[in-house]
């Protein structure tokens, strides 16, 4: 399931950006490997981070800098090929009615943007990478954790399926307009984001002035990150903080959402620097989860509990892939299309 979620997320993101299906192909597989390596390197501890000596960066004991340079070139080749393809299509007058993200960027970015020291192509490539890295991996990680928790808590999964059966039925597939009525499913997503935020440490910020926070002096220029994983499990805020209890978002924390207005729960950050893709990520997550629960039952081989050990990366993946036995819940005809 972990690999399937990766393919799904990558395919959705690349379809939106470049207007093509990418997962399941050899090029898609290699691209996914490059992105995974990029995320793994960002999550690795480097000796020069703890001991800021120029010599350590120059020697590169752990080989991280060499790997980052290689990955950077590979990502650049992938995105450059997409941009060239769109430029050539525009020159030939083959632009159709449907425009993807690259088409919009090519038409929206003019010469004034180059005044900031970067070419038009560089700006587009950087924006593409931001979307791919921030969007595809975090969504697949989130879906993997959700399904892992549900399989280990069968009564929660059963209640979510019953909600879908009542609100939507079994005569059609659930669609995006149904999500607002699936309040328990929304609570499941929130509770998973609380326990396993896809990015456990917030995006770094920099102190603009000297200040004091919690009794600590923070000099101007200090890089600051919020430990979201720890914040979301603070026992002073959350009862039974390490337990999976979606009902808390229907009772004691019913008014809490993930948009950054409630500081005890900020899986996407808060303020002007919060994740710009919140709406897109939640649309994909809710609809994918709803259709999976409507259409299938999930168990583990031999009915063993799912290993919930966390891995290491820029995001928060499972240490071991999620392997499940999937059986149909709906009539056979629903799966033909």
Q: Using DSSP bridges, classify how beta strands 223-224 and 216-218 pair: parallel, antiparallel or unpaired.
A: unpaired
Binding site residue list for heme: 275
Catalogue the long-range contacts made by 94-101 (C-beta closer than 8 Å, 24 or more residues apart): 98/19, 100/15, 100/16, 100/17, 100/18, 100/19, 101/16, 101/17, 101/18, 101/128, 101/131
* pLDDT of 332 above 90: no
- 58-67, 240-249, 267-276, range with the lowest pLDDT: 58-67
- 42-56, 97-111, 126-140, 226-240, range with the lowest pLDDT: 42-56
Domain positions in the chain are: 2-335
* Structure confidence at residue 144 (pLDDT): 94
The set of catalytic residues is: 138, 268, 275
Query: Once rounded to an integer, what is the mean pLDDT over residues 165-181?
Result: 95
How many Å apart are CA 217 and CA 208, to the nearest integer? 13
How many Å apart are CA 242 and CA 288, to the nearest integer? 25
* Structure confidence at residue 44 (pLDDT): 64
Residue among 94, 205, 185 at smallest CA distance from 143: 185
Q: What is the CATH number of domain 2-335?
A: 1.10.630.10
* pLDDT of 98 above 80: no
How many Å apart are CA 46 and CA 140, to the nearest integer? 26
Of the pLDDT bands very low, low, confident and very high (cuts 50, 70, 90), residue 46 is: low
Of the pLDDT bands very low, low, confident and very high (cuts 50, 70, 90), residue 41 is: confident
The pTM of the whole model exceeds 0.85: no
């Amino acid at each position: 399931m972990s690999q399937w979620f990766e393919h799904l997320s990558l395919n959705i993101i690349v379809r939106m950006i470049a207007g093509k299906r990418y997962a399941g192909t050899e090029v898609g597989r290699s691209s996914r490997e490059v992105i995974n390596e990029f995320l793994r390197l960002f999550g690795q501890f480097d000796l020069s981070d703890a001991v800021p000596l120029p010599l350590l960066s120059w020697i590169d004991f752990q080989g991280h800098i060499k790997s980052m340079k290689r990955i950077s070139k590979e990502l650049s080749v992938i995105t450059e090929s997409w941009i060239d393809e769109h430029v050539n299509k525009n020159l030939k007058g083959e632009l159709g009615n449907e425009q993807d993200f690259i088409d919009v960027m090519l038409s929206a970015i003019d010469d004034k943007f180059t005044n900031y020291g970067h070419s038009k192509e560089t700006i587009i490539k950087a924006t593409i990478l931001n979307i791919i890295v921030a969007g595809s991996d975090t969504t697949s990680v989130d879906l993997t954790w959700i399904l892992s928790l549900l399989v280990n808590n069968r009564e929660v999964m059963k209640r979510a399926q019953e909600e879908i059966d009542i609100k939507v039925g079994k005569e059609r597939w659930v669609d995006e307009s149904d999500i607002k009525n699936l309040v328990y499913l929304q609570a499941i997503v929130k509770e998973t984001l609380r326990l396993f935020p896809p990015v456990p440490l917030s995006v770094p910020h920099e102190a603009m002035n000297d200040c004091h926070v919690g009794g600590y002096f923070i000099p101007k220029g200090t890089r600051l990150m919020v430990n979201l994983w720890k914040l979301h499990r603070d026992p002073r805020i959350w009862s039974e903080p390490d337990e999976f209890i979606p009902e808390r978002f229907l009772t004691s924390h019913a008014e809490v959402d993930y948009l950054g207005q409630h500081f005890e729960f900020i899986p996407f950050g808060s303020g002007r620097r919060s994740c710009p893709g919140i709406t897109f990520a939640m649309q994909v997550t809710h609809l994918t989860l709803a259709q999976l629960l409507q259409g299938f039952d999930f168990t583990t081989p031999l009915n063993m509990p799912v290993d919930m050990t966390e891995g290491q990366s820029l995001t928060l993946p499972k240490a071991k892939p999620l392997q499940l036995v999937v059986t149909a819940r709906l009539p056979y005809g629903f799966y033909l299309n």
